[in-house]
Structure 1
């Protein structure tokens, strides 16, 4: 078993040698393995942190991208529940936080203290990271609601004929408008995302409420 110092990937993450890391990972892939061997990423320090965590703590975003590209897990956690995003946030590495969010880091993941990355950043007074994560969560919240609406109206088992054509058109068009807004809005604020979420709910909730309403015939039968 290799020591931490002998593990090449860990070494490159510590030193920030991106060219060395790229060559090493490419050589591993060319050696006949479709995926890098397990021991490329499982070696950890005494705190349970592997090369990805170290790169996040040191703010080496390019290294983070390479590690994730070659098989590291963006949402891996230490024994105490800290994710790479937690580590980047508590060390105040804003660009790395942005990179992790872009690459699918779970902003809702909680550590042993039940803290999200945003809350960890706040506790350690890394306000740039906390502010960005609050903004990113607001954006994700709006995106998730749009996805929820689209999935709901596309599911025959959920709709069961309770929505008419006009209802579906309103839902579809509203979701499209909000998606376009997300793509095209210039420097939207946290409050902008919150207001857009409220606006879409004002339109959609009355329509989707029909899905939880009993059909009139069934309702009358239940009274009798």
Structure 2
């Protein structure tokens, strides 16, 4: 876990800002010890909206996924972080990506009983469909995760195997 991961998880905005200004850490660095989470995943899960905002403004990609396919939106949905979901939406982050089990953030929010998040995510999805766009973000694909999925398919590993 990098210094930036730790500061983002703790919600230490000033430290995150200082690290980013000094280019001390890559805002998209994946932590292999924590399922490939980026600092943005941590900030989203903990509900640190200002930290989410500054990370994205400094190049953090909200489409990056953990080893199980979770985006920052999945973590925000799991922990009922509606304000984070709103910030992610304001940056046109993908809010409807499926994880390796086929679950979107709206499903995760529903599982954990965060009905305010469910309503918001359904509203966003409906707005995007009405606009005729399934994906609004130009940066909505995690190439590394997609490549990992291709390798698993070629080796006969299905989505169901990830559930174990």
Aligned counterparts, 1:57-96, within 5 A: 57-96=45-84
- Partner residue of 2:110? 122
Larger Rg: 1
Contact 1:74 1:104 in 2 (8 A): no
Higher relative CO (CA 8 A, sep ≥ 6), structure 1 or 2? 2
Equivalent residue in structure 2 for 1:9, among 4, 8, 32: 4
- 1:107 matches 2:102: no
Residue 37 of structure 1 deviates from its aligned partner by 5.5
Residue 68 of structure 1 deviates from its aligned partner by 1.0
Residue 106 of structure 1 deviates from its aligned partner by 1.4
Equivalent residue in structure 2 for 1:141, among 118, 126, 129: 129
Question: Which runs of no fewer than 5 residues in structure 2 stay unpaired?
Answer: 134-164
Cα RMSD between the aligned structures? 1.7
Equivalent residue in structure 1 for 2:86, among 83, 95, 98: 98
Contact 2:4 2:25 in 1 (8 A): no
> Separation in 1 of the partners of 2:101 and 2:113?
17
Deviation >4 Å, runs of 4+: none
Contact 2:19 2:25 in 1 (8 A): no
Q: How many residues align?
A: 132
Larger relative helix fraction: 1
